């Protein structure tokens, strides 16, 4: 079974449905949108950047090969999603707090439909936790700050 099929199965097994509040969708340019923090930037990834900096599933469809130099957290989100909007400032705070230890990325599922489809993203927010070594973990839904910190500490930092 390929890594992509395993990840899709894991996403499907979680099966949590997030209630989405439809709001007007803000379209952004095709260039990556970086939100500047005091220390750390949350980077909005395109498919090309994901393939280069996280996992090139086109070149390695049968084996997970992390391309990054630090553990990372990827937030699959949409601009119109209420829980995603609530999660965003918490992730910005955590990016500053964990500066130099992890990277936090965001992927807009409406802008990057092919990438979201490749990972079977069906509800948002979906968080992909990628340790430096080992297998990624997926969670769905907006988690409170203490749970996010616990996941960062246990899944990303202790898994090195």
Give the C-alpha separation, 125 to 76, whole Å.
6
Q: Is 23 a known active-site residue? A: no
Which of 7, 81, 94, 142 is catalytic? The answer is 81
What are the backbone dihedrals phi and psi of residue 113, each rounded to the nearest 5 degrees, phi first?
-60, -40
Q: Is 84 a known active-site residue? A: yes
Three-state DSSP class for residue 4: helix
Cα 42 to its chain centre, rounded Å, is: 11
Which of 84, 88, 116, 130 is catalytic? The answer is 84
Give the C-alpha separation, 80 to 155, whole Å.
29
Token couple for 55: 């996992």
Q: By the 8 A CB rule, do 105 and 73 touch?
A: yes
Q: By the 8 A CB rule, do 50 and 96 touch?
A: no
What distances in angstroms separate CA 78 from CA 29, 44, 57, 126, one per listed residue? Answer: 15, 12, 23, 10
Q: Active-site positions?
A: 81, 84
């Amino acid at each position: 079974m390929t890594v992509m099929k395993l990840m899709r199965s894991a996403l499907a097994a979680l099966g949590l449905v997030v209630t989405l509040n439809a709001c007007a969708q803000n379209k952004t340019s095709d260039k990556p949108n970086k939100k500047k923090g005091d220390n750390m930037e949350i980077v909005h990834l395109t498919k090309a950047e994901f393939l280069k900096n996280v996992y090139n599933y086109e070149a390695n469809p049968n084996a997970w090969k992390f391309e990054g130099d630090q553990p990372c957290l990827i937030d699959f989100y949409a601009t119109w999603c209420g829980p995603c909007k609530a999660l965003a400032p918490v992730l910005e705070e955590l990016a500053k707090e964990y500066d130099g230890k992890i990277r936090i990325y965001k992927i807009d599922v409406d802008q990057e439909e092919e990438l979201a489809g490749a990972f079977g993203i069906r509800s948002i927010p979906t968080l992909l936790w990628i340790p430096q070594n080992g297998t990624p973990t997926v969670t769905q839904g907006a988690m409170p700050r203490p749970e996010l910190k616990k996941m960062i500490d246990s899944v990303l930092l202790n898994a090195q």
